[in-house]
Amino acid sequence: MFEIDYNASAEIFGQKRSGRKGQLFYKRFSTVASALKFVVEDLSEKVTNVWLEIDEERFESVAIRKFYDSDSYPLTRMPRATAVKTAGSLTPH
């Protein structure tokens, strides 16, 4: 597995469901940890195809979830049941 620096800057890209067309979005974060927290805990279930970019390396939902669930993750996590509900497609199968 790729080792990440949770203090590095990160970018989130994704697509919001909106009728027949999807609207792309982008958000920059000062730390990987805050980007992961946003994606897993705050991002609407109407957002699909989310990926995280760290130093020009892209990671999709499975990796995002693994980074968030890692023992190395430095921030306090939302209670599991709530995070699973909000994470939508980021829930491990």
Is 4 within a domain? no
Question: Model pTM?
Answer: 0.79
Question: How many domains, in total, are found in the chain?
Answer: 1
Is 93 within a domain? no
Q: Which tops the pLDDT comparison, 4 or 18? A: 4
Q: What is the number of alpha carbons within 13 Å of residue 43 lying toward its C-beta?
A: 32
Is 58 within a domain? yes
- pLDDT tens-digit readout, 14-42: 988 766 677 888 999 999 999 999 999 98
Look at residue 3 in the predicted model and tell me its pLDDT: 81
Look at residue 17 in the predicted model and tell me its pLDDT: 74
- pLDDT tens-digit readout, 43-92: 877 777 899 999 999 999 899 999 999 999 999 998 865 554 444 555 44
Inter-residue long-range contacts of 60-63, CB under 8 Å, 24+ positions, other chains counted: 61/89, 61/90, 62/92, 63/2
Is 34 within a domain? yes
Is 75 within a domain? yes
Domain that holds residue 30: 10-87
